[in-house]
Amino acid sequence: MRVGLFIPCYVDQLYPEVGVATVKVLRRFGVNDLDFPREQTCCGQPFLNTGLCAETRPFAERFLQIFKDYDYVVCPSGSCTSIVRHHYDQFLAGASGFEELKRKTFELCEFLADVLKVEKVVGRFPHKVGLHHSCHGLRELRLARSSETVGPYFSKMRRLLESLEGIELTEPSRPDECCGFGGTFAVNEEAVSCRMGLDRIRDHEQAGTEVLTSYDVSCLMHLDGLIRRHGHSIRVMHVAEILATCDD
């Protein structure tokens, strides 16, 4: 399969190690024909979240042009993947190749679990790990069952991590609560955003979390800033970083 690597702009500019880890993970599980198209840009999520729909359209059109010919598109971000799958319709409905593009664009954990059918990850990560399911990934991509729905619990991220030797997955009292980031929400409602983030950190501290992980760097960036400013001991790692280092 020929896979196009979709790296969000904030990963490219601020957390390139997450992109490197994503490549390492994909190659570890047999994806050798992997391409990073250098002409890719932001998916337009900040503009769309602020209501700037006209300004978002060129990003959507460019994304389609760049990624339409790949067999799959993989992204280490639930929120950016969700923008393509659930919010580009208003700009690209009826465009050639768009429906196929939606079907073949996946968040990293989703791709590993649903496309590559990874059942077990061999490796060791002897830490107490807390999972943060971001809102886009949880309620739009359905990467895990949210607490307001009925049915058996599942989590694609948890399924990948729980097979690691030595890992202990912690259980916060509110496992799918928002961290308060929300993109521009963290700027426009700074006080509320910070209080929500501190609530998440305290919940994980009480659960014994040593490493807090997620499939969204944006949430981890928000939480890590609060952890450092308030002197908490938890460290954050994107799930790709754990999967990339657990065999070292």
- 72 forms bridges with which residues in the sheet? 3
Tell how far CA 75 is from the center of its chain. 8
109 and 139 co-located in one domain: no
135 and 233 co-located in one domain: yes
**Mean pLDDT in residue range 161-165:** 95
What's the CATH code of the domain at 205? 3.40.50
| Cβ–Cβ under 8 Å, residues 247 and 204 | no
| Token pair belonging to 201 | 């950190």
pLDDT higher than threshold 60 for residue 46: yes
pLDDT band for position 65 (50/70/90)?
very high
111 and 55 co-located in one domain: yes
| Token pair belonging to 50 | 């602020």
Residues 166-182 pLDDT 10s:
999 999 999 889 998 88
The answer to whether residue 170 sits within a structural domain is yes
The answer to whether residue 120 sits within a structural domain is no
The answer to whether residue 121 sits within a structural domain is no
What pTM was estimated for this model as a whole? 0.94
141 and 225 co-located in one domain: yes
Output the DSSP codes for the chain.
--EEE---HHHHHH-HHHHHHHHHHHHHTT--SEE--TT----SHHHHHTT-HHHHHHHHHHHHHHHTTSSEEEES-HHHHHIIIIISHHHHTT-TTHHHHHHTEEEHHHIIIIIS-------B--SEEEEE--HHHHHTS-SB--TTS-S---BHHHHHHTTSBT-EE---SSTT---S-TTTHHHHTHHHHHHHHHHHHHHHHHHT-SEEEES-HHHHHHHHHHHHHTT---EEEEHHHHHHHTT-
The answer to whether residue 54 sits within a structural domain is yes
137 and 89 co-located in one domain: no
Residues 7-38 pLDDT 10s:
999 899 999 999 999 999 999 999 999 999 99
**Mean pLDDT in residue range 41-55:** 92
Q: Which of 206, 184, 245 is nearest to 20 (CA)?
A: 245
Domains identified in the chain, total number:
2
Crossing angle between the packed helical segments 190-207 and 217-229, to the nearest 10 degrees: 80
| Cβ–Cβ under 8 Å, residues 133 and 50 | no
pLDDT for 189: 87
The answer to whether residue 81 sits within a structural domain is yes
The number of residues in the chain equals: 248
The identity of residue 95, as a single letter, is A
92 and 143 co-located in one domain: no
153 and 237 co-located in one domain: yes
Last residue of a domain, one of 75, 92, 115: 115
- 129 forms bridges with which residues in the sheet? 169, 211
pLDDT for 21: 97
- Domain coverage including residue 23: 3-115
pLDDT for 248: 54
pLDDT higher than threshold 80 for residue 192: yes
In whole angstroms, give the CA distance from residue 132 to residue 219: 8
183 and 97 co-located in one domain: no
- 130 forms bridges with which residues in the sheet? 212
The answer to whether residue 123 sits within a structural domain is no
147 and 241 co-located in one domain: yes
The answer to whether residue 122 sits within a structural domain is no
15 and 49 co-located in one domain: yes
In whole angstroms, give the CA distance from residue 75 to residue 235: 23
The answer to whether residue 12 sits within a structural domain is yes
Residues 103-128 pLDDT 10s:
999 999 999 999 999 999 999 999 99
In whole angstroms, give the CA distance from residue 44 to residue 235: 29
